[in-house]
Amino acid sequence: MAKFEERLHAGYGQTLNIDEVLFEYRTEHQDLIIFRNESFGRVMALDGIVQTTEADEFIYHEMLTHVPLFAHGSARSVLIIGGGDGGMLREVLKHARVEAVTQVEIDASVIDMCKRYLPNHSAGAFDDPRVELVIADGVDYVRESAKTFDVIISDCTDPVGPGEVLFTSAFYEGCKRCLNPGGVFVAQNGVAFLQLDEVVTTARRLGPLFADQCFYAAAVPTYAGGIMTFAWASDTAAPRQVDVVELERRFKVSGIRTRYYNPQVHAASFALPQYILDALAAG
Ligand code: AG3
């Protein structure tokens, strides 16, 4: 049986059986493979790193959308950077208050191939009239955009290859420029136990730019190695401090159905283990 061996961490990695290769291609930017695995369904990897699977994508996509959106409470405009598989877009569009979503993805072939071979991720989201799709570099977009947003979601790869620029101060400055007052920026930030440097580096870069900066976390099985952290930044602590009672109210009013997210999970996800807090304090 063919195996997919992930190459991301030094001396440690997950291996997935490849039951069937559905698509494999060297795009203009990266190596893309979509294959089927018995436990996780369809799996998409870029440059040898698992990006998303049918079985556990809901955890990641719900946590990077519903946490900032329910915390904000009245977001109308959302910017997604990356997210070519469309899972993030699908979750954002569940919020009826959201009037406009701009998605900026560098690699058009990821979108095309995911629409075709991972159709349950986008589930038609790219056809929603609220969506504007821009094929461009995220850093350029946030530097030049005339539009501003209530929530910005960076659904990036790890800081190697094309995704590296999405962890730079230049990118974070652009996001700050594109964020409305009271807006929230969130970003995928790696699995903390194995990528602790990433947490520290992100805090060092985002911290000086925003009045409120922190991380929240969730365990996503195919991002092997323990909990994944998500970076959070805003010009105000208010959205982070919304209490569970108010989150319950907002969630109920929305009518949104989720499989991982709920207001209790939302509130609890901001509690970080001590080894992360210590690393941040040592900075
Ligand atoms: N992007 C995040 C993949 C990160 C995997 N990294 C890791 N295991 N440290 C996923 C794109 C899904 N829309």
Cα separation of 115 and 121, whole Å? 8
Identify the DSSP state of 167: G
Give me the average pLDDT of each 10-residue run along the chain (283 residues): 94 97 92 97 97 98 99 98 98 98 96 97 98 98 98 96 93 98 98 97 98 98 98 98 98 98 98 98 94
Cα separation of 81 and 155, whole Å? 6
Task: Give the residue from 241, 240, 215 showing the smallest Cα distance to 230.
Answer: 215
Task: Give the residue from 202, 157, 150 showing the smallest Cα distance to 46.
Answer: 157
Task: Give the residue from 212, 217, 135, 204 showing the smallest Cα distance to 168.
Answer: 204
Helix, strand and coil in the chain, % to nearest 5: 35, 30, 35
Active-site residue, selected from the candidate residues 47, 107, 150, 155: 155
Cα angle 51, 126, 221 (rounded to 5 degrees) comes to: 25
Task: Give the residue from 79, 25, 14 showing the smallest Cα distance to 53.
Answer: 14
Cα separation of 88 and 253, whole Å? 21
Ligand 1 center from residue 50 Cα (angstroms): 7
Task: Give the residue from 69, 72, 51 showing the smallest Cα distance to 60.
Answer: 51
Q: Is 107 marked active-site?
A: no
Predicted local confidence at residue 161, as pLDDT: 83
Nearest CA to ligand 1 atom 10: 51
Which atom of ligand 1 is the closest one to the Cα of 220?
A: 8
Predicted local confidence at residue 162, as pLDDT: 83
Cα separation of 196 and 217, whole Å? 13
Q: How far is CA 70 from CA 67, 171, 183, 282, in A?
A: 6, 24, 12, 32
Ligand 1 center from residue 253 Cα (angstroms): 31
CA atoms 144, 179, 171, 138: torsion sign = negative
At 37, is the secondary structure helix, strand, or coil?
strand
Q: What angle do the packed helices 57-72 and 244-254 form, to 10 degrees?
A: 110
Predicted local confidence at residue 283, as pLDDT: 87
The answer, as to whether pTM is greater than 0.85, is yes
Which atom of ligand 1 is the closest one to the Cα of 156?
A: 1
87 lines ligand 1 (CB under 6 A): yes
Cβ count within 10 A of residue 119: 12
Cα separation of 201 and 44, whole Å? 27
Task: Give the residue from 114, 117, 166 showing the smallest Cα distance to 143.
Answer: 166
Q: Note the helical H segments in 207-243.
A: 238-241
Mutate to test the pocket of ligand 1, among 5, 16, 47, 60 (most ligand atoms within 8 A of CB): 60
198 lines ligand 1 (CB under 6 A): no
Residue 134 · residue 141 · CB < 8 Å: yes
